[in-house]
Structure 1
Amino acid sequence: MLPANAQTMAQSTAQVAPRASECLAMANTMPRVLPVSLRRTAAVTEEVTITYGGHSTYVIDTPGGVRIATDFSGHYVTGRLPDVVTMNRAHSTHYTRSPDPRIATVLRGWNDDGTPAHIDTRVGDVLIRNVTTDIRRYYSDDAGAAMIRDGNSIFVFEVAGLCIGHLGHLHHKLDESHFAAIGRLDIVMVPIDGTYTMSLDGISEITKRLRASVVLPMHRFMTPLDEFMRRIGQDFAVDVRTSRSLTMSRGALPGAPTVIILDGV
């Protein structure tokens, strides 16, 4: 179990009624039709900075000063301590049972009692929600069927007019109900190891289906990047960076879908 103070802080944050998801609203509108609130955000040109920490950890810094670390284990800390961490339980490089008590909001993508985790909470200027997925049972101590239903989560972060998704330690193809619950994504972080999560063919199919403007690979190990690129097709451009950080606004999204490879990936 998480420390009581971390759980309490996460729960108290979750009790604040969040604004409805605009990424879901965008997914259900005609192309290029934006909610009024997103048009206001675009006019302000707020920027989000995303930094590759390592493995499956990306650090998201919002215009309002909120720092989020994904699949947080405590091993990949970049700069100051995050305000929010999300976790998945595939193995200990994706979560920790003892997060730093100074982290105000700890969000786990599973519940210990086997019920689906339900996250829909606002922290500062970011709305955070999840879409549960199943996990292969050999990653846990549980006995029984081959998969644990709702054992992990895809996390979606809505901030500065951007819809940012982190696919986590994904083990299976997504069906239409998953895509509907995810909604529109502008930036998506995808595991490309090809074995421990999904095959390269499987994750490439999901990447193409999500149609995000920016694809950020993670969980790569020794996978040749050109193998991933060959599978997702020629519709995706490639942008190799020498920095571990990317700064993005809604207006700066590339015109064509682009795989951005940050330093360290």
Structure 2
Amino acid sequence: MKLTYIGHACFLVQSQAGLRILLDPYQPYAFGGRMGLKPFYEKVDIVVSTHQHHDHFHVDEAFGNPVVVTTPATAMGIEFRGIKLPHDQSEGAERGFVTGFWFTVDGVTIFHPGDLGRPLNGEERAFLGHLDVVLVPCGGTFTMGPKEAAFMVSNMKPPIAIPMHYAWPSVALPLLPLDDFLNEVPKYEIIENQPFEVKEIPTTPQIYVLYPQH
């Protein structure tokens, strides 16, 4: 399984057989141009969206004719399981809810929680079961902040945690920088080359930093 961080909350997952799954694609130049990441114009097989905000849901004609997953479903032999999660720290009272999705590709189980507003609780972690890769929003305002994200990673101890949804020069949204999260964790490794291939699952928890490619 190969993983590319496109930017913001968008990742491209590629299977060994060539299946391409795009997670939470953003609408280019959304919010009056504040979403300034370069557009992603490649063919994909499946688009998965945790919620229909402009920075998490966009199906471009350049994608071809992908299957679009917004609720739990099975697509092209992949089971996309879902969990309802709050988009804020007030259990959905401010921004509603998102659907966190987890699925398995090439034996690797990936979890994308979308704009998760607070750390997962014990009941939610138990419902999710074993996860190999957890994508962790950490920029605050629309998601949990750096301290909460670091706390969740410490509690969950996933084999691989990858931060996302943080401040970036081309994203003019009120988000905190990645360094605020990295300052809260004991260690991390920067992955210079993408796509990042998960060949083996680490035996101890790791935090890998993938910089946006767009």
- Give the TM-score, by structure 2 length: 0.78
Letter in structure 2 aligned against 1:187: V
Instruction: Select the residue among 133, 136, 139 that pairs with 1:193.
Output: 139
Does 2:70 align with 1:70?
no
Instruction: Select the residue among 87, 93, 110 that pairs with 1:164.
Output: 110
Partner Cα distance (2:93, 2:42) in 1: 41
Aligned to 2:181: 228
Aligned to 2:171: none
Does 2:206 align with 1:254?
no
Partner Cα distance (1:209, 1:224) in 2: 22
Per-residue CA deviation, residues 145-203 of structure 1 (Å, 9 max, x unaligned), is 5353xx31111121211111112111133222211221111111111113321122222
Check 1:174–1:263 CA distance in 2 against 1; reply closer, same or farther (3 A cut). closer
Instruction: Select the residue among 65, 76, 79 that pairs with 1:103.
Output: 65
**Where do 5+ consecutive residues of structure 1 fail to align?**
1-47, 109-116, 137-143
What percent identity do the matched residue pairs reach? 25
Aligned to 1:242: 192
Return the offset for 1:102: 3.2
Return the offset for 1:122: 4.3
Partner Cα distance (1:86, 1:135) in 2: 17
Return the offset for 1:67: 0.6
Letter in structure 1 aligned against 2:50: N
- Give the TM-score, by structure 1 length: 0.64
Letter in structure 1 aligned against 2:20: R
Per-residue CA deviation, residues 208-251 of structure 1 (Å, 9 max, x unaligned), is 2221111111111054444313323x3xx4211222320012xx
Checking the alignment, whether the CA contact within 8 Å between 1:127 and 1:159 is kept in structure 2 is no
Equivalent residue of 1:53, what SS?
Answer: strand
Instruction: Select the residue among 85, 96, 99 that pairs with 2:47.
Output: 85
Checking the alignment, whether the CA contact within 8 Å between 2:167 and 2:178 is kept in structure 1 is no
Instruction: Select the residue among 159, 181, 185 that pairs with 1:213.
Output: 159
Check 1:145–1:256 CA distance in 2 against 1; reply closer, same or farther (3 A cut). closer
Greater mean deviation of Cα atoms: 218-227 or 203-212: 218-227
Aligned-residue Cα RMSD (Å) equals: 2.6
Equivalent residue of 2:26, what SS?
Answer: coil
Partner Cα distance (2:183, 2:73) in 1: 36
- How do 1:89-168 residues align onto structure 2 when only pairs under 5 Å count? 89=51, 91-96=53-58, 99-100=60-61, 102-108=64-70, 117=71, 119-124=72-77, 126-136=78-88, 145-146=93-94, 148=96, 151-168=97-114
Checking the alignment, whether the CA contact within 8 Å between 1:169 and 1:191 is kept in structure 2 is yes
How many residues in Structure 1 have an aligned counterpart in Structure 2? 194
Check 1:107–1:77 CA distance in 2 against 1; reply closer, same or farther (3 A cut). farther
Checking the alignment, whether the CA contact within 8 Å between 1:90 and 1:169 is kept in structure 2 is no
Checking the alignment, whether the CA contact within 8 Å between 2:135 and 2:164 is kept in structure 1 is yes
Letter in structure 2 aligned against 1:177: E
Higher radius of gyration, 1 or 2: 1
Partner Cα distance (1:190, 1:259) in 2: 10
- Which structure: greater helix fraction? 1
**Where do 5+ consecutive residues of structure 2 fail to align?**
29-37, 169-175
